[in-house]
Every structure is written in C-alpha cells, then in structure tokens.
Amino acid sequence: MPKHVAIIMDGNGRWAKKRLLNRINGHEKGAEAVRTIVQTARKLNIAVLTLYAFSTENWQRPQPEISGLMLLLRRFLASERQTMIDNEIRLNTIGQIDRLPQAVRDNLSAVMDATATNRKMVLNLALSYGARAEIVEMVKQIASKARQGAVDPEEITPETVAGHLYTRGMPDVDLLIRTSGEMRISNFLLWQIAYSEIFFTQTLWPDFGEDEFVTILKDYQHRERRFGAVP
Ligand code: IPE
Ligand code: IPE
Ligand code: MG
C-alpha cells in the first residue's frame, strides 16, 4: 500500500457543464467524492492523503466561483469534523493559508485543533497551494538561517530542503492521481513527486469513486519502483 497518496481533483466544471449546471454544482458534487475517497483511504490504512483543493493560480477565477468554493469548504469542515474525530484522522493544510478568508481560517484551525492528536491518517488539504511558492518560501527560510549562522550552506542536503517544505515530516508521494484526463501537474508538489508513480484517469472528479480508487491502488501494487537502480 502506498504511504502517501496525492490527488489532483480535476473536472468539476466539465462535470457540471455536461449537465447544463452551474460550475458550483460541480464543486458540490466534487465535495461528495472527497468524502468517499477520504473514507476509503482511511479504511485502506493509507497514512497520508493530500488533496489539491485550490491552487495559487485558482485565485484568478471569477469571484463568485471562489466564494462558492470557500463556502463549500466551510460546509465540508462542519460536516466532516465528527467523522474525522471518530476515524482518528488528523486534518492538516498546506499552502498560503493566510490568503484564505478569515472565516475559512477559523473553521480550519478549529478542526485542526479538534483532530490534532489523531494518528491513523493525515488528511492534507492543499489550499491556496502552489509548489513554486512553497519552494520560494523554503529558500527564504534556509537563506535566512544561513545569514544568521544557524545553517552552513555547505551542509545543505535534500533532507534540509524537505524539512523546510509544507510537507516536512511526511513521506514523499508514492502515488499521484489526476482525474479529468488532463496530463499535467499544474504546480502541485514538485519536490515531493520526484519518484511518484503517476496515474491519469479520464474520469471527472465528481464521478471518481471507491471502485476506481481501489483499481488504481491495485495497479500501483504491480508497478516496479526502481528509483534509478537496476531491479
Ligand atoms: C477542479 O475542478 C476543482 C478546482 C480546481 C477548484 P475544475 O473547477 O478545475 O473543473 P474543470 O477543470 O473546469 O472541469
Ligand atoms: C489544478 O486544477 C488545481 C486543483 C485541482 C485544485 P486546475 O483546473 O486549476 O488546473 P489547470 O488550470 O487545468 O492546469
Ligand atoms: Mg480544472
């Protein structure tokens, strides 16, 4: 079983368009798929599940869509809080959280506090997340420590870098899934996916369910991970 699964949840808008619905209806349906996949991941003992929910680039979307997404996020936190407690899931966020509306940040902190001691799974929500911004932040922190003399530039290792990313303390991504048929990374976890197995599926995110997730996990188990070495 992979320790860390990351998912680019894409295709809500197209799911809605196909049904002549509003994009927000697609995001609502997408939130239901999130619920299912979180429960499946927990059931299968996956240690870390990272979900790309909102990117730094998504701030360019029309204001009503952004507000709709923020409201859905708050609803999701309210409805999932008890389930996360019952299933020993710890909520964590990665991204530029200070850019989120105050009400969203308050809801996030409350659920993170309520689940802080849970140890069975980490649910990492990537919110206002961009890998380039994460890397810039990491460089700034290490440079500042070097200036203060707390870090010797000669001693910087891949572990130093990993230790200054939002995902510090978590294993690298073993399995990356992107729904909706797009074959790109869209500024997600660039460092952490260095040796991930990647699966692209045509399924639009609201239609992604337990069966397909399990099929991908089984397929993952048949992949030979060489990490550059000879098998
Ligand atoms: C993914 O669905 C959800 C977010 C990016 C917030 P999209 O909204 O990108 O859906 P498409 O790609 O337009 O179908
Ligand atoms: C990536 O999807 C971000 C999330 C799933 C949150 P986008 O729909 O924003 O990505 P692009 O624009 O197709 O690359
Ligand atoms: Mg998209």
Encode pLDDT of 183-219 as tens digits: 999 999 999 999 999 999 999 999 999 999 999 999 9
User: Looking at the domain assignment, is residue 49 inside a domain?
Assistant: yes
User: Looking at the domain assignment, is residue 149 inside a domain?
Assistant: no
CA 62 to centroid of ligand 3, rounded, Å: 14
Residue 231 has pLDDT above 90, yes or no: no
Counting ligands in written order, the one closest to the CA of 54 is 2
d(CA 176, CA 197): 6
- Domain with 58, as residue range(s), is 4-130+172-221
Domain total in the chain: 1
Ligand 2 neighbours by CB, cut-off 6 Å = 8-10, 52-55, 57-58, 182, 184, 186
Encode pLDDT of 60-106 as tens digits: 999 999 999 999 999 999 999 999 999 999 999 999 999 999 999 99
Counting ligands in written order, the one closest to the CA of 27 is 1
CA 13 to centroid of ligand 1, rounded, Å: 5
User: Looking at the domain assignment, is residue 158 inside a domain?
Assistant: no
d(CA 170, CA 174): 11
User: Looking at the domain assignment, is residue 18 inside a domain?
Assistant: yes
Residues serving a catalytic function are: 10, 58
Structure tokens at 190: 């660039």
Tell me the C-alpha to C-alpha distance, in Å, between residue 123 and each of 43, 47, 61, 100.
13, 9, 25, 18
User: Looking at the domain assignment, is residue 164 inside a domain?
Assistant: no
Q: What's the CATH number where 93 sits?
A: 3.40.1180.10
For ligand 3, a single-atom ion, the residues with CB < 5 A are 10
Protein residue with its CA nearest to atom 10 in ligand 2: 186
Average pLDDT across the chain, whole number: 98
d(CA 139, CA 199): 30
User: Looking at the domain assignment, is residue 117 inside a domain?
Assistant: yes
User: Looking at the domain assignment, is residue 162 inside a domain?
Assistant: no
**Is residue 71 within 8 Å of 104, Cβ to Cβ?**
no
Q: Which atom of ligand 2 is nearest to the CA of 13?
A: 8
